[in-house]
Structure 1
Amino acid sequence: MANHHPLYSKFFQTKKTEAEVEEELRTYTTHKELISSLPTNKYGLRLYGSFWLTEKNIISILSAQKHLKASPDDVFLSTYLKSGTTWIRALAFAVVNRRKFSFEDHPLLTTHPQEQDIAIHVEGAFSFPQVPDIDDAVNISQRRIYATHTPYSLLPQSVKKSTRVVYVSRDPKDALVSFWHFTNASRPPNAPFTSLEEMFDRFCEGGYLGTIWDHQMEYKEESMKRPESVLFLEYEEMQEKPEECVRRLAEFLGQPFTREEEEEEEAVQKIVSLCSLEFLKELQVSKNGRVYDQWGDYVMKYSSFYRKGKVGDWKVHMSPAMAEKIDRITQQKMGQYDLIDRHQIK
């Protein structure tokens, strides 16, 4: 049975019986066989549900669907690739634990938001033949926080039934440019540089995690059906009105700020400052820290997770024709939602 790697070691401390190990391996093998039967495309992805995904993604999704038992007190964070994942992890952790940790000695000052103590990365933790022992793992957060890129339709049923889900959307143009920079900054040694032009068509065709438009629409529609269970945040609005969005997040999670926290402690402003990308990327853990990628295949720098994080940076890198094509798809797919106004569709 394959070994887990250090990033997720805290979830594999409980000793299991031989029968339990064999059962987990049988399930893993069954999942691998199922995946091998799924349709493939020119990018080597498999069609699961309505999304083209890597085999590693599908393995973790199937395992989480079978084994992840979310509780009503848990928090589930979801984003498409490079759409505010690190930021929302930090914000959610700070909001949930604001009474447990002081701002002067806060875990986020020394712990990167991508680490498992801040939020459990579902695709990584559930990617192994062994089933992670989430319940037995030491958790510094007052509430268990998960982070995922999984489409809503493929989330575990326990999450859909009982857990609060927070989704962050982002202008597809900015998400693509950010993903392009991240892919090159975090590529394994000797891997070739990928041009934006090379990445563009694959992105539009959904060749990384399904299309960003389908991903966003699933969460948007669910947030409209069940606003008490799914909160849909916009990256652009979070940049424009961070304090208002932090208040919305706290209210949604059932931990609204008191008048004392607002007026005397300035908790909202402190959380916004602590979790700002400008502040986080200057910390030593961000500058010097290294970690295995989510699958444990190679070591990447924590600094790869930060760049500008600005709205509209696509204008520096993307040709007018590229921008027009993405805007056209966005209008076709998302035109019924007012969030496209934030993307400055021309």
Structure 2
Amino acid sequence: MLAHEEKQVEELIHQLPKSGILGSQYRSIIQYQNFWFPGYLLIENILKCQKHFKAKDNDLIIASHPKTGTTWLNTLLFAIVNRANGNHPMSESPILSQHPHHLVNRLEDVNFGGGFYNQLSSSQLDDIPSPRILGTHFPYVLLPESIKTSNYCRILYICRNPFDTLVSQWHFYNKVLIDLDGEQTLKPYTFEQFFEDWFEGRILFGPFFEHVTDYWVQSLANPKKVLFLKYEDLKENPTVHLKRMADFVGMPFSIEEESRGVIREIIEMCSINNMKELDVNKNGLNYYGVEKKAYFRKGEVGGWINYFTPPMIERMNKLMQQKLQGTGLTFKLV
């Protein structure tokens, strides 16, 4: 950014609401456009991305709220696209040798290092073979206009029921944020504490329901532009939804491919049981300094029941009813 732009960003951030994370002011989150983000660097890169990113008509954007199936969708879409391009046989897929978050470049740069603009220059971005697969946790309102207005750039959004999402985020943030706390000042966030922050929407890229419903509305208004996927449906019938994805991005499976078991191969290769056992996903850190294995826990539907108390369930059900009323969006909880 130019000096005057940086000053404008500093002035903007100074005025924005802030809150501690994990009950600590050492890790602050900042509210911008009614959503919460992890610190100065990401707000700067949101503005940078909005101003400078130019979508191509054949770009494929994976959008999601954190811990809703992003890693899984990264691998599935990568496999669909690269199998259609004939880039390599399935047995030599980069999915088997690279972490999923190294295969899909992100539009934002979180405050603990790595990410899209720190990994690639604008010229390198242009050199990525088409179709480019790019990921983001941006809410729809903050996507660059070039993505929204492109006639053929497609968005695949994945969501997960709020109960399981909350549990997955609690495990992940406790692991990641405490590991990255060089001063060793943070204590584990209790589930009760995290539930209260989550309920108020005071979480990274939250509030959850606003994030999800914005993309849901867009998928109804323009189904050729936005494909809305539910984690629970993908778990229940992966074949059907893998075919939906392939059709949506213009790379449908042929009858010959189906007869050869290509769909089954992709599903098995990208399954959480297979992915978590790959050496590349068990060892080392990713670009953000996060343990690679932290992205693979259980991937279950309904595991939330072991964490929520009856009063929590009642409050969440009421919140869900309030936030989803009139949208037509529903979730499978078990």
TM-score interval for Structure 1 and Structure 2 normalised by the shorter chain = 0.7 to 0.9
Q: CA deviation at 1:338?
A: 4.7
Q: CA deviation at 1:221?
A: 0.2
TM-score normalised by L of structure 1:
0.84
Question: Matched residues in 2 for 1:337 and 1:138: separation?
Answer: 38
The 8 Å contact of residues 96 and 255 in structure 1, kept in 2 or not, is answered as: yes
Counterpart position of 2:236: 240
Question: Matched residues in 1 for 2:20 and 2:278: separation?
Answer: 41
Residue 169, structure 1, aligned to residue 159, structure 2: yes
Match of 1:228 among 224, 229, 232: 224
Amino acid at match of 2:263: V
Residue 313, structure 1, aligned to residue 303, structure 2: yes
The 8 Å contact of residues 180 and 196 in structure 1, kept in 2 or not, is answered as: yes
Counterpart position of 2:197: 202
Amino acid at match of 2:230: E
Amino acid at match of 1:251: D
Question: Matched residues in 2 for 1:24 and 1:134: separation?
Answer: 16
Give the direction of change, closer, same or farther, for the CA distance of 1:127–1:66 in structure 2 (3 Å limit): farther
1:171-226: CA deviation from partner (whole Å, max 9, x where unpaired) = 11100100111112223253321111111111111111221100000000000000
Match of 1:178 among 147, 165, 168: 168
The 8 Å contact of residues 24 and 129 in structure 1, kept in 2 or not, is answered as: no
Amino acid at match of 1:112: H
Give the direction of change, closer, same or farther, for the CA distance of 1:138–1:104 in structure 2 (3 Å limit): farther
Question: Matched residues in 2 for 1:222 and 1:63: separation?
Answer: 24
Counterpart position of 1:274: 269
Give 4+ residue runs of structure 1 displaced > 4 Å after superposition. Answer: 41-44, 125-132, 137-142
Q: CA deviation at 1:100?
A: 1.3
Counterpart position of 2:137: 149
Residue 284, structure 1, aligned to residue 279, structure 2: yes
Residue 259, structure 1, aligned to residue 258, structure 2: no
Q: CA deviation at 1:34?
A: 2.0
Amino acid at match of 1:258: S
Residue 249, structure 1, aligned to residue 236, structure 2: no
Q: CA deviation at 1:36?
A: 1.8
Residue 62, structure 1, aligned to residue 58, structure 2: no
Q: CA deviation at 1:39?
A: 3.5
Counterpart position of 2:89: 102
Amino acid at match of 1:78: A
Structure 2 residues not aligned, in runs of 5+:
22-27
Give the direction of change, closer, same or farther, for the CA distance of 1:111–1:247 in structure 2 (3 Å limit): same
Question: Matched residues in 2 for 1:204 and 1:220: separation?
Answer: 20
Amino acid at match of 1:244: V
Question: Matched residues in 2 for 1:29 and 1:97: separation?
Answer: 43
Q: CA deviation at 1:268?
A: 1.0
Instruction: Name the SS of the counterpart of 2:121 in structure 1.
Output: coil
Amino acid at match of 1:28: E
Deviates more, 1:77-86 or 1:135-144: 135-144
Amino acid at match of 1:33: E
Residue 123, structure 1, aligned to residue 123, structure 2: no
Identity %: 35
Match of 1:133 among 121, 129, 132: 121
Amino acid at match of 2:274: F
The 8 Å contact of residues 78 and 165 in structure 1, kept in 2 or not, is answered as: yes
Give the direction of change, closer, same or farther, for the CA distance of 1:129–1:236 in structure 2 (3 Å limit): closer
Give the direction of change, closer, same or farther, for the CA distance of 1:305–1:252 in structure 2 (3 Å limit): same
1:28-63: CA deviation from partner (whole Å, max 9, x where unpaired) = 333232222224457654332232333333222111
Instruction: Name the SS of the counterpart of 1:290 in structure 2.
Output: coil
Paired residue total: 314
Counterpart position of 2:30: 46
Instruction: Name the SS of the counterpart of 2:281 in structure 1.
Output: helix
Counterpart position of 2:11: 33
Give the direction of change, closer, same or farther, for the CA distance of 1:41–1:182 in structure 2 (3 Å limit): closer
Give the direction of change, closer, same or farther, for the CA distance of 1:132–1:108 in structure 2 (3 Å limit): closer
Residue 160, structure 1, aligned to residue 148, structure 2: yes
TM-score normalised by L of structure 2:
0.87
Counterpart position of 2:71: 86
